[in-house]
Structure formats: structure tokens, C-alpha cells
Structure 1
Amino acid sequence: MDHDDVVAVSEEQPLFRQQIPWYKKIFIFIRRIVERTISCNVSNAAKVITYYWLLSFFPIIIFVGNVIPFLHLDAAVIMSYLEMAFPGQIMPLIRPIVSSLLHKSSGGLLSFGVIATLWAGSRGTNAMRNSMNDAYQIDSSNIYSDIPIQNAVVRRIFSFIMTFFFIVALLAIVVVFTFGQQFLEWLIPTFDLSDTILDVFLTWKWPVIVSVIVLVMMFLQYVLPSARLKFWTTIPGTIFTSGTWIILTQGFSLYVRYFARSFNSYGTIGTLIVALLWLNFAATLLMIGSVINAVFNESWHGHELTFSNRITKLLKR
């Protein structure tokens, strides 16, 4: 007999609104997350997302690297942020590329970086959106119009906008923190302020990195699915993805450093293998976060979703 029947769980009423013991609600909630993760094929979705993430990874470095020289930013500060965000075994591949680009820029490379980043990034964004819709069990026939070319154009424009937003956000974070430090270094001696102000600013690196990851994850989980969601229903999956990403990055670095020394003997190929594994795990955690949000939303509001996304409205015209 199904466990839901034993505890008299109604399929018509949201799980968290039913009069059953809280521990049984949690058990059923976790079980439904596992079932949904399997049914929407999270592992395959993660592989598609990983492919486009990897495809856009180096164009993004080229793009950002050719913009930064115009801003006269400190290369050491940029590297410190990259080292906090990526596993240590990936940095040997990134460091020489970034160092080279930080000291010289090329208009041709900048144009290539913009085009390649927007193309690959938009494909990755579209793949994430489709996978999140699967997590929410959204029927694509309820989203798209009857004109295929219209679907492709509007979806690609939306993906371009999202990709552009993330690039701008990345640049803004780097600029604010780099210029913020330089501004404080000028401000403190000029007005005879305490040096502790700069120390406090520098010690907030990790909290800010974590906050940015949380905000980006919450934005993704709220905007990408083609449904009207309560903002607070995206919190569980956001916390899960953000926390596990940080643990993944630090844990992966330790694992490769102490238990996977054979990767180091393969040079660049070994680094690419590490990057692929890390990106695949990161994409998997992102999709599991979407599944958690989908099941959490259903547990409070039922299975009915309202397709009020503006992109959906455009496609239905």
C-alpha cells in the first residue's frame, strides 16, 4: 500500500495544509522531491546545461578580460575573487588567460567575446529554463504559440537579455569592489580616518560573495520558470543550491588536491576534466534546487500553476 494512503494524504489538497503530523509531511515532501528528480531526468538536463556553460566560459573570460583594461583595475584583486569562486585546480587554466587579457585589450577579441558569450550563454539560459519548466511539470503547449519562428525569436531574445544581465552584474561586482578598495585607500589618509574601515571592507569579501550567489540563484529560480510564483517559495531551493555550491567548490578543491593527484599529471587536459566535473555537479545542484522549489510550491499551493510570465504572454499572442 502506498505510504500516502496509510497517512490519509489527499492529492487534491496541498500537503502542508493537511492535518497530518509534521514529520510525515517532511517524509512525504522529501520523497516527492526524489521522485520528481528522477521523473524530470535531472542528470540529463544538467549535462545539457554543463555543455553550454563550458561553451560560454572562455568567451566570458575573453569579454571581461578585454573590458577590464579600460577600467585600469588591479589584477591581483580580480584574481583573489576568482580564487574564491572556482576550485583551486581550475585556476591554473584560468590565471594565465586572465593575466594576459588584463594587461592588454583587443577590439577584435572583444567583439568575438560578446557574440560568443551571448550566443552560448543564451543557449544555456534557454536550457535552464526548459529544465526548470520540466521540474514544475509545465506543459510546453500551454506556453508557446502556434508559430514556431515566433517561439524561437522571443525565447532567444529573452535568453540574450538574461545573459547580458549576468555579464553586467559580474562586471558591476568586480568594479565596485576594486574601485571601492581604491576609493577607501584614498579617502582614509585624506580625511585622517581609521584604517579599520578598510579592514572591515576587505573582511566582507566572503559574505558578499555568498550574498551575490544567493541573490543570483533566487533571481534565476523566480524568473526563469514560465509560471507565476510566490517569491518566498523560491527560498528553499535557493538556499540549497547556494549552500551546496559553496560546499562543492571548497570540497572539490580539497578532494582534487589530496585524493586526485593523477589529474595534475595531465596538465591542461586534467584541468578541463576537473572543470567539466565541477560544472556538471553545479548544474545538477541547480536543477535539484528547482525541483525542491517546485515541490515546495505544490505543497503550499497545489498543482495548479498560472502561466502569467510576460514571455509566455508574448508567445501566446
Structure 2
Amino acid sequence: MRAAAVSFNMFISLFPALIFLFTLIPFIPIDGFQLELFKILENVLPASAYELFYETITDTIMQQNTKLLSLSILLMIYFSSNGIMSLIEAFNKTSHNIETRKSLNLRIVALISVIGISLLIMLAISLIVMSNTFILKFFSHHPEILSKGILVTLTGVVKWLIVLVLYFLAISILFYFAPSKKNKFKFISPGAIFATFLQVITVLGFTFYVNNFAQYNKLYGSIGTVIVVMLLIYISSLSLILGFELNASILHGDKTFREKKV
């Protein structure tokens, strides 16, 4: 139930957040930024979900629309922070914490989390573009070191390592700063590691299943794409909650052990 509640709010916040992110792209002075972002989305999302976003995304990033950017910022601030606030509520219930922060303070925490995650996404894409450019330029001057096939593999490995590390940092930010009561875990926690790998495995597995076996579009028509997106968000939300629950369980077990020992 907690994952379902988080999924609904995340789904509502998804489109404003994407519009905001893609409206920013023309203002980012890095060649190949939007192309690399498209590649990552195409690799991660099911084909039907990618097609749902593609037209809206391309229309948005073709021009630097200041008015659209301003509207997107306002929408993103409200809806995206709602999504984070629902996640915070789920974390508090998992660890049996009572929310003591005022509504405004909670909104600020959620907003800071959204901004931090957005910056991490842009940093990830920027690092991928720059690392790919560096690798290609370096080995173009030293072709005797690696073959073309190995070079392609190397750039792919570097890209996904960057995505994985920064994705882990985003989850760690949520686990560390979002709950009402700070736990005893450090910034890098077992739950964050577990949630990262669980989310990567389940999302990629679900994407493979949808692309190769599922027939959502044939069964439900155009609404099948929306169902796919909702299921994808639900899986991601469930992975986050399970990761945080692992942290809470470890802390509870450690507390129980110390009490029995005394």
C-alpha cells in the first residue's frame, strides 16, 4: 500500500519534472548532452514508455522557451516535492517515526531533495558526455592500444558505472536526509546499496519483459503505455521502500540484541 501511494504521487510529479529537465537542456552548453540523455532513456525505459515521452520531449528541447521553463519550475516544485513527501511518509511509517517537522520545513526538505537529484542527473549526463569524448579522443591518437570493439565496450562500461554511482548517491541522499528521525547509519548504508541494485535489476528486467513478452498495447490500446509507466514507477518505489526497510530492520535488530545483552 505504501508503494502504491508513493507511485501515484511520483506518477503525477513525473511529467512536470521531465518537462523541467528537458526544457533546461537547450541552456546547457555541452555538445551531445540531449543525445546521450535520449540514449539512456531508450535503454532503460520500455519501448512503449519511451515513445510516450519522445514527442513531448523533442518539442520541448527544440527551442529555448523561457516561459515554458518558468511554468515547468513552478509545476516541478509543487508536484515533485509532493512525490518526495509521500516517500518521506512511507519511510517514517517503515521506521515507526512520528513526523515532527512543520509542513513548510517538510516541503523545503522535499524540494532540496528534488533539486539535489535533478543536479545529480545533469551531472551524470555531463560526465558521461565528457568521459566518452575524452576516451574517443585519447584512443583516436593511440589506435594501437585498443581495437574498435573494445573501445565501444569501454565507453559503455564507463557510462553505466557513472549512472550507477550517481543513482546510488541519489538514493543515499533520500535515505539520509528525508526521514523525520536521523538513523545511526552513515551516508553510505546497506539499504541504499540494496535498493540501488534491486531497482536496477527489477527495472531492467521489467523493461526486457515488456519489450519482448508483454502485450499491454494490444490488450489495452494506447492506455497500455500509461499502465507500463505506472508499473515501472511502482517497482521503483517498492525497491526504495524495501531498501529503507532493510536499514530499519538492521537498526531494530541491533537495538534488540543490545537490550538482551544488558
The TM-score normalised by the length of structure 1 is 0.70
Contact 1:233 1:297 (C-alpha < 8 Å) held by counterparts: no
Question: How many residue pairs were aligned?
Answer: 251
1:254 CA drift (Å): 2.6
State the partner residue of 1:64: 21
Is 2:217 the partner of 1:263? yes
- Identity across the alignment (%): 23
CA contact 1:241–1:289 (8 Å) conserved in 2: yes
Q: Structure 1 101/73 Cα, relative in aligned 2: closer, same or farther at 3 Å?
A: farther
Shift in Å at residue 203 of structure 1? 2.7
Structure with bigger RCO (C-alpha 8 Å, 6+ apart): 1
Partners of 1:72 and 1:268 in 2: CA distance:
35
Aligned equivalents of 2:41, 2:168: Cα separation in 1: 17
Matched, 1:126 2:85: yes
Aligned equivalents of 1:95, 1:160: Cα separation in 2: 26
Structure showing greater Rg: 1
C-alpha offsets along residues 227-271 of structure 1, whole Å, 9 cap, x if unaligned? 232335963322332222112212212322343214246454111
Q: 1:185 to 1:234 in 2, by over 3 A?
A: closer
1:173 — aligned with what?
124
Q: How does 1:273-292 map to 2 (within 5 A)?
A: 273-292=227-246
Work out the CA distance in 2 between the residues paired with 1:175 and 1:198.
20
Cα gap change, 1:116/1:235 in structure 2, threshold over 3 Å: closer, same or farther? same
Match of residue 139 from structure 1: 98
Q: Is the 8 A contact 1:181 1:198 kept in 2?
A: no
The 1:264–1:204 alpha-carbon spacing in structure 2 relative to 1, beyond 3 Å, is farther
- Name the structure 1 match of 2:48: 89
- CA separation in 2, counterparts of 1:161 and 1:303? 36
**What letter is aligned with 2:11?**
L
Partner of 1:227: 181
Q: Paired residue for 1:214?
A: 168
Residues 1:301 and 1:253: Cα distance change in structure 2 (over 3 Å): same
C-alpha deviations, 1:162-219, integer Å up to 9, x for none? 1111111111211222244345555665xx3457596434432222222222222222
In structure 2, distance between residues paired with 1:268 and 1:179 = 38
Q: Tell me how far apart the structure 1 counterparts of residues 46 and 202 of structure 2 sit (CA, whole Å).
A: 9
Q: How does 1:1-317 map to 2 (within 5 A)?
A: 43=1, 45-70=2-27, 71=29, 73-74=31-32, 75-140=34-99, 143-144=100-101, 151-185=102-136, 192-194=141-143, 196=146, 199=152, 200-232=154-186, 235-264=189-218, 266-302=220-256
The amino acid of 1:153's aligned partner reads L
Alpha-carbon displacement from aligned partner over 1:266-307 (angstroms, at most 9, x marks no partner): 454111111011111221221122111101111123499xxx
In structure 1, C-alpha distance between the alignment counterparts of 2:77 and 2:60, rounded to whole Å: 19
So what's the TM-score if we normalise by structure 2? Answer: 0.84
- After superposition, the Cα gap between the structure-2 partners of 1:66 and 1:228, relative to the gap in structure 1 and judged at 3 Å, is closer
Native 8 Å contact 1:264 1:271 kept in 2: no
Q: Given that residues 22 and 61 in structure 2 are in contact (C-alpha distance below 8 angstroms), is that contact kept between their aligned partners in structure 1?
A: yes
